Amino acid sequence: MTIYGYWRCSTNEQDQQRQVLSLKQAGCDQILGDKITGTSDWSSRPQLLKCLNLIEAGDTLVISELSRLSRSFMGMVNQVSDLLERGIHIKTLDGRLDTTAMPAEITMLIVSILGYAASQELDQIKTRTAEGRAVAKARGVKFGRKRTYTSFQADEVVRKHNDGDGMGTIAKSVGMSRSMVQRILREHKQKQLLTT
């Protein structure tokens, strides 16, 4: 019987290291992981798919918490059900689930509760993020790519375009790409439309 460890984190390197260290301390024989968002499905997690192909009946899958598998209610319930049907044990390091020590009915009840909680937490995160963006926008915070050219360069691009110079000529003379010149002219046109 093999003990497989699986970690998942979105971007934080420290979170990954913390999970890997915990899985090593839990005695995992093999540790795999993906750096991807919790809302992703199994098919977009190459290391999880590899783990699921390697793991066999009687083996144990160890994860730091159940939300490492999925943050959606249905995703969590379906994934745990699939593993249990294959005879694979699941253990979380937060102590909330250990299928080696509880009957299947209790396992599914716990998974349903944890799945619901994870789903609600994700909804709250999305709501808070949207509210935060709205407040920041109201304060004048600009989102998206930062401007990589000066006002002088933008004025030069517009002047040269008005003089009849082509995109390639303008790009060479001001030292930027054609796509940047097009972007400046597009933004200038939008400003003119707003002020007329």
* Residues carrying an active site annotation: 10
177-181 LR contacts (CB < 8 Å, sep 24+): 180/148, 180/149, 181/157
137 vs 128: CA distance, rounded Å: 14
Secondary structure (3-state) at 102: coil
Distances (CA, A) of 184 to 97, 141, 146, 160: 56, 20, 13, 12
Distances (CA, A) of 17 to 6, 23, 92: 12, 10, 17
Distances (CA, A) of 40 to 14, 49, 71, 170, 186: 21, 13, 9, 44, 35
- Is residue 185 a contact partner of residue 161, using CB atoms and an 8 Å limit? yes
167 vs 108: CA distance, rounded Å: 63
What is the amino acid identity at position 155?
Answer: D
Secondary structure (3-state) at 141: coil
